Structure formats: structure tokens, C-alpha cells
Amino acid sequence: MKHPKNKKESTKDRIIDAAKMLFADQGYLKTTIADISKQAELSEAALYEYFQGKEDLLLAIPDMWVSELIEDLERQLFGIKGAVNKLRKYLWWYFRRVEESPLDAKIVYFFLKTNANFMQTEVYSNVKVLYAYLLEIFEEGKRTGEMRSHINPSIARNIFIGTMEHIITLWLLRDRKYSLFENLEETFDLLVSAFTTRENDPALPVRTLLAEATQTPSGIKHGNEA
């Protein structure tokens, strides 16, 4: 015999799974409570015992996902040395988690962030915690000299997040027909080249180095140039 609490949690999970599938498939606005209760094989009255309405469900889905991400990220970054290494791990880890949970990602990026109440929710607070790790990484890089001394950690974080979210949004819009990891190393190198000092920059263009190597201290190139 199942424990009542387990049965309650199982029913709640069933409702969330039904809402997640319907939101991702037909959109938040087109999905009704009747649709969700039918998909979950419950009456509407039974559904309202667990959730106040459709918006409550919309917020519950990413809240669980983002909470799991925060817990997992602490384990993933544990023991990694160096700001650039942590930044690379963060990007690869986040993209892997998105590929593993595309419905959660679609709900977050397409429906939750356009919700007028998003910034007043606990989900938004958790998202800020998730992205605060990036701020700490950039601050560490600036402090240790691995990144440029004049870098603004908040701006650097926003650029990194913006690039990351743009790639994910395009991937979702194109129905996930390719891997998020296509060209990711090149993208990462381009980003890092904007943040790191020259000696720590793995992506400094070879042409720039060659051009500088052919210049004299006075700035005049060797050779027969006029």
C-alpha cells in the first residue's frame, strides 16, 4: 500500500508532466486547465487541490528544474581551478542540462520569461542565484589576473549569459535539429578572448600575433613595404 504522501507527490508530478508537455507542444496561452486535467487523467477539481491555476503550474515547472540546476552546479564546479576552466565547465554543463531537459528549457525561454509576474517569483530569485556563480567566476578571474584588470564582472556576465541564451533560443526555435555543442568551442574561445589577458588568452588570433611579430619597436614593419 502506497503512503498517502507518496501518492500525493505522484499525482502532483503527473500534473506537472502533463502541463509541461502541453505547454511545450501547443503553447501556454492555448493550453487550458481542462486540457491539463484530461492529460493527467484527473478531474479539474482534483487538479485545483494541487495548483491554484495555469500560472501556478507555469511557475512550478521551472522552479523545480532551476532548483535542481543549482544543486548540481555546486557539485560540477567543485575542485576546478582557474576562472577560464570554471567558465568552460559552466557553459558545457548548462548546455548538457538543457539538451537533457528540452521541455523545461522551452517553457523557461518561451513562456516564463515573457510572463509579467516572472521577476516577482521565487523562480527568478533562483535564476539569479544560478547566474551569480558566473559573477563570482569573473570576479575571481579579475582578482587573480587571469582576466583583464579593467573588466566589469557584471557586464562580462551579461555578455556571457546573452550569448548562451541566444544560442539556446535559436536551438529551440529550430526544433532542436542539431546539437548545442556544434561550434561551441569556437564560440567559447571568441568570448574568452574578450575577457582574458593576452598571456592567458587561448583564442588570440594568430594573424594578430604574426602582425605584431613583424613590427619593429617603432611600429614600422620589416620588409619592403613603402
Question: Is residue 6 pLDDT above 90, yes or no?
Answer: no
Alpha-helical segments (H) within 101-152: 102-106, 122-144
d(CA 7, CA 43): 16
Q: Is the dihedral of CA 33, 39, 45, 51 positive or negative?
A: negative
Mean pLDDT of all residues in 59-63: 81
Mean pLDDT of all residues in 93-117: 87
Are residues 203 and 190 in contact, defined by beta-carbon separation less than 8 angstroms? yes
Instruction: Give the C-alpha distances (Å, rounded to integers) separating 37 from 22, 33, 42, 111.
Output: 11, 6, 5, 20
Lowest-pLDDT range, 14-18, 44-48, 114-118, 222-226?
A: 222-226
Read off the pTM: 0.74
Which helix (H) or strand (E) covers residue 87, if one does? helix 83-100
Farthest CA pair distance, the chain: 91
pLDDT, tens digit, 9 for 90 and up, residues 17-38: 899 889 888 888 889 999 999 9
Looking at the DSSP bridge assignments, the partners of residue 196 are 147
d(CA 200, CA 13): 47
Q: Please count the residues of the chain.
A: 226
Q: Read off the C-alpha cell for 137.
A: 567566476
Lowest-pLDDT range, 23-37, 117-131, 170-184?
A: 117-131
Residue 190's SS3 state is: helix
Mean pLDDT of all residues in 36-49: 91
Most confident of 28-32, 54-58, 160-164, 197-201: 160-164
Angle at Cα 167 formed by Cα 111 and Cα 21, nearest 5°?
35
Q: Read off the C-alpha cell for 141.
A: 578571474
Could you give all domains of the chain from N- to C-terminal order, each with its CATH number? 1-51 (1.10.10.60), 54-213 (1.10.357.10)
> To the nearest whole number, what is the mean pLDDT of the chain?
82
d(CA 206, CA 60): 48
pLDDT, tens digit, 9 for 90 and up, residues 197-219: 755 444 444 334 334 434 444 44
DSSP state of 121: S
- Percent of the chain residues past pLDDT 70, beyond the cut: 83
Mean pLDDT of all residues in 119-137: 87
- Confidence category of residue 181, pLDDT binned at 50, 70, 90: very high
Side-chain-side CA neighbours of 206 within 13 Å: the count stands at: 0
Mean pLDDT of all residues in 95-110: 90
Higher pLDDT, 113 or 71: 71
